[in-house]
Structure 1
Amino acid sequence: MKLIVVSAGLSSPSSTRLLADRLSAATLEHVDAEPEVIELRELATEIGQHFVTGFPPARLAAALDAVAAADGLIAVTPVFAASYSGLFKSFFDIIDNDALTGKPVLLGATGGTARHSLVTEHALRPLFTYLRAVVLPTAVYAASEDWGELGLAQRIARAGAELARAMTPAAPDVDTAVAIAPRSLTGAITSMDPADGFEMVPFEQRLAALRAE
């Protein structure tokens, strides 16, 4: 499986990349996947060229293909003017309309103050919902004062576990099979082997057999 991490941090090192790396590590604790980080600041010129020419240069095309082929996506942006950065939005503006359909996405954002903590809900979540991605319930915002705090670590751990589960849907177990098997108001299923079919035994007969035991 492939885990793609998109970081829109502008400095190096950046708190945005730090959050992206920690979200990736939390996810990889629960799923065996190959991570790949896309640093948007390294593609800024190519993104601008794409808007002008309509054709992505080679490095940008490879990044777009990687996102489209991912089994899971982590997208993290710094906050600018109470929203995602222009570079972040520009990258997802040029991605194919169907590239994120049904893809699990974990959202993250960083900012200098906790006042922007709802940016993941009023800006990021609507964007990825529009792109028809499966946006995970837990999004992680990290303000400057959050680093080193237990609360941030807990949110990161919870979000990573959610993405891992979304990337690896569990196979139906026996209880699920029983829940979806056809039932009768007057009988009970005594065989769960599809090769045998479902043997229907009248309730009275089954009750009498139990009493005889």
Structure 2
Amino acid sequence: MHKLRIVGISGNVKAPSRTSALVASVLRRIESELGLPGRHIDLAVSAPALFRALRADQLDEEGAEIVRTVESADVLIVGSPVYRASYSGAFKHLFDLVHYEALIGKPVILAATGGTPLHGLMIDHQLRPLFSFFKALPLPTSVYALESEFDSYAVASSDIQKRIRAAVRELELILPHAKTLALSRAEEQSRLTA
């Protein structure tokens, strides 16, 4: 069986970014607790390659590789700053390019950053419906962090660290399911190429 592919996506469009730091913190926790390293796609860096195309069939190789990485992930950690009551346009554009069947059954940890506690509603009103459309499995515990919970773009709040640990524990519980899906996909792929 292949090693599970963990992919973090930061929907920020500037660097440094609290959102990027939050997604990186979740990835580090998954690696330290579950022994699963991940790849971090930071849209502050990657978005220009995606914006060169309006549709998936227009992507150049750099943009197509980003989309393939997302589509082939076994687990996603997705985060966006709250921007105008939703996720960023760069985040939306990335998922407009992802095939609508590519994320079926994949666990997703949802995260966001914002300026007030009320902005945290974006996770349940925007992110959860997006990943429900994809038939992914958003985990029950999401991670929302205020600007005041960071120190020099590093998570400084023990409450946020507790939420990250809770989300990673939920991921650990669902991973046997994810491993089964990954094995099924690998077997199907080898049958197709045989």
TM-score by length of structure 1 reads 0.74
Aligned counterpart, 2:159: 151
Question: Deviation at 1:133?
Answer: 0.4
- Runs of 4+ off more than 3 Å: 168-171
Give the percent of matched residue pairs that are identical in Structure 1 and Structure 2.
34
1:14 to 1:53, Cα distance in 2 relative to 1, 3 A: closer
Alpha-carbon shift at residue 66 of structure 1 (Å): 1.1
C-alpha RMSD of matched pairs (Å) = 1.9
List gaps (5 residues or longer) in structure 1: 172-213
Q: Distance in 2 between matches of 1:72 and 1:53?
A: 21
Say which structure is richer in helix.
2
Counterpart in 2 of 1:17? 20
Q: How does 1:158-177 map to 2 (within 5 A)?
A: 158-169=166-177
Question: Following TM superposition, by how much is the alpha carbon of 1:161 offset from its aligned partner in structure 2, in angstroms?
Answer: 1.9
Q: Are 1:96 and 2:78 an aligned pair? A: no
Write the mapping of 1:42-191 to structure 2, written as runs, cut at 5 A.
Answer: 42-51=45-54, 54-147=57-150, 148-169=156-177
Task: Tell me the matched-pair count.
Answer: 171
How much has 1:170 moved relative to structure 2? 9.8
Contact 1:2 1:72 (C-alpha < 8 Å) held by counterparts: yes
**Structure-2-length-normalised TM-score:** 0.81
Structure with bigger gyration radius = 1
> Is 1:8 equivalent to 2:16 in the alignment?
no
Amino acid at match of 1:95: V
Query: Residues of 2 paired with 1:100 and 1:82: CA distance?
Result: 24
Whichever residue aligns with residue 131 of structure 1, its letter is F
Distance in 2, Cα, partners of 1:156 & 1:61: 30
Q: Distance in 1 between matches of 2:86 and 2:56?
A: 27
Structure 2: 5+ residue stretches without partners? 151-155, 180-194
- 1:113–1:145 Cα contact (<8 Å) kept: no
